[in-house]
A and B are shown apart, each in its own frame.
Chain A
């Protein structure tokens, strides 16, 4: 690899813009600039020097900030498009066909196209994931590309810089001073009071502080990379559990996705705010909007199968009782169980009487547990009822056959066969709510509905997320990095004697020039240094350098 030798004799790697020893401009572009490009202190960065092989080209693609910003903007635009219509997971549809129908029905042609283009599942699409992947790669590459040279050049900084370097700083001043050494000593004292670290080298001073803030962007990028890695890990089995289950009051069920755990639903309650149970300041709001939910709560008992339990054994040990409410999940062994949904008053059982149609005399009653109906109910005295078929969620006939939409007893219907001493061969009756059919001819008996019992059902979600610590760590590092890079600045102030005895001063900061100027003003005034000018401010109103009230 070739290298560039500076007039001062220092040999710099190819691609260096500013001599790492004396600060003279080296490259042609750099020489043409009025002000020095201080972004990496003029150090060579890989992407600017290696341009030949395929690897270089890929590397340079990802390390380009233009590309990086394009990726960010692409993600931004895609994310926005995804909010035009509700995403498919917020839509009540069980499959693709239903979803397609939903979008077309609710949002017309636009909805149809939106769904057909896959925008209804935009965040789960391969190309959206690919964009996030590109962002991650870009972050890794750019951090290596720039971070390392920046680190090296700041670490090896020299104190005495060539006048051409100082003249090309944004803040620059030069002038005669009666006693340069005394002025420099006083400046040093004042700058130390502002907590600058001072280095001296033959008639030159470098005052510097806050260099560590320059690593801020790299720290925050590392945080983002860790965060994205955490998100990727969820795709691996075992790292992430996301299940939901319905559990009726009184039931004990295995917790989905959590082998060995069981919950018992001891009761679900739903409460609303009303004028009696709330403070009177809420009265007006309750009048205006009507009832407002105040609490969804499932009281549960948690059980665990002992570790040494035999396979297939139903032995369970009680762990604890807990009331799950929104915002307060039940947490146990890395699993969290959330209150997510509920159904009030689901039918639990129905009671019928076997009745003679003529005189309404009953042969007895039977109660059917809708979750688990029995095959036959014996009423004694030669009467019994068989349940030939059960349709928990009856929704009409298809080809003469009754259909059940779901296994949930929303609208139970039964095909009964009734045996009585009068009709020992049995009579068939189809019974649904408010509907009775007698498919095989007029019956003498009927099943007369007596009463029903209901219970509530809780919808619980079970999560376990082993990636959370990684994601949280990434987030924390990101925050530390942005704070480091944003709330602290890297400030430098150079003073040196020129050959003709005059003093040169120059200042640089990566951000917050006003604060830098304030500190330099103090030192300048105290030590009688030559005044500096802001070479970037065409309006140059900063005459008194105080940014005082005058500035508006």
Chain B
């Protein structure tokens, strides 16, 4: 067995472990007694954290073996970075489990990690050599520290989500209820993306087009799902593929747009099916899982994770980033979109801390802020990498 295939197996084991861990954590919060955890809850909790730690260990194993195989830290493209982020998210939830013994955090963090891993798996998994700009140990130091910071910050969103599920009244129409359901819908959309990519991927779908790019040069593009949108002045090179519905101007990547629209379609269908079959909102389905969580504790965890994560994020995403940018691009700051979004994330959490400390934004307000913070982190990871092209673009 080569190192590369070993690392692939280890990652798969982690994926399964996180799925199993989620169900075990479910056992740790079930039961009707409100505050007291039964002995059975405790047993489930212990099993859950054990499986989670095993999954985390194999995940680290994946990381190390892939590092050994490629000779550089596996954080240099979309697949690698997202997978590493999932790993750190699990690591952060283990840390918070031991700080606060809260099974609810594990119960909600693990499925998010599963979705993140599923998302990562949709990108090319081959090991790529490093282009000159990435040939620096600062790549390793900067990206890993920034990702650790982001994953700790993400725990505050997990705690915030639990807080909201428990405290937003889902029986009455309200803004809070609407937005909470919107968050659930977004999560289902990511699942939609995975279903679409995996589905068309398994069928081996391919449609090749030539087009004229924004510099008026001829170029080629291969779609992996039926082309809803065509690139600028496209011409099909594969026989019998569907005719794109509309042609896009050159600055829009019609392939990305196509994947995006397919994901929304698939995600919406899945969402509607859930609603039709269960006759409930998704938030309502999840609410019982949050019922036993202590709101004050979730608020405390939310704040604490920002406190722990903020300095790490500052160090990794700003300070190390500036040092590297100074070595690689001769300036420590260049207003590249990725840099700017790291700054935005940092400013946002600074605002969170000030609103909380000085203006008393605790509980619900702070939980919403934590969820928005996670949305910004995800935006930076997904949209800025794939859509807003810059020096950091992994396209």
Contacts and interface: CB of A to CB of B under 8 A. Distances in A.
B359 A65 contact: yes
Contacts of B263: none
A76 interface: yes
Interface in A273-307: 273, 278-279, 281-282, 284-286, 288-289, 292-296
B330 A463 contact: yes
A368 interface: no
Contacts of A66: 359
A293 B130 CA distance: 8
Contacts of A181: none
Interface residues of B, number: 82
Given A327-B327, A551-B101, A123 B335 contact: yes
Nearest to B132: A326
B385 to A, nearest CB: 12
Given A326-B132, A552-B29, A284 B127 contact: yes
Contact of A72 (B136, B307, B310, B347): B347
Contact of A284 (B126, B136, B319): B126
A80 interface: yes
Nearest to B326: A468
Nearest to A481: B311
B131 interface: yes
A87 B340 CA distance: 12
B330 A482 contact: no
A49 interface: no
B307 A486 contact: yes
B95 interface: no
A82 B297 contact: no
A462 to B, nearest CB: 8
B129 A539 contact: no
B157 interface: no
A436 to B, nearest CB: 29
A292 B129 contact: yes
A542 B2 CA distance: 52
Contacts of B248: none
A482 B314 contact: yes
What is the interface of chain B mostly: helix, strand, loop, or mixed?
helix
A469 interface: no
A79 interface: yes
A338 B330 contact: yes
Nearest to B69: A281
Interface string A117-128: 000000100000
Contact of B319 (A327, A475, A486): A475
Given A294-B131, A478-B314, 16 more contacts: A80-B340, A83-B384, A242-B330, A282-B129, A285-B129, A289-B128, A292-B128, A292-B131, A487-B308, A512-B307, A514-B99, A538-B295, A539-B295, A541-B35, A541-B294, A543-B35
Interface of B: 2-4, 28-29, 35-37, 41-42, 45, 69-71, 99-105, 107, 124, 126-133, 135-136, 138, 214, 249-251, 292-297, 300, 303-304, 307-308, 310-311, 314-315, 318-319, 322, 326-332, 335, 337, 340-341, 343-344, 347-348, 350-351, 354-355, 357-359, 384, 388-390
10 pairs of A and B residues whose beta carbons are closest in the complex: A552-B103, A65-B358, A326-B132, A284-B126, A550-B37, A338-B330, A285-B126, A285-B128, A327-B136, A537-B296
28 contacts: A65-B358, A68-B354, A69-B354, A69-B359, A79-B340, A82-B335, A82-B340, A87-B335, A282-B70, A284-B126, A285-B129, A288-B124, A289-B128, A293-B131, A296-B132, A326-B133, A338-B330, A475-B322, A479-B311, A479-B314, A482-B314, A541-B297, A547-B297, A548-B37, A549-B28, A550-B37, A551-B37, A551-B294
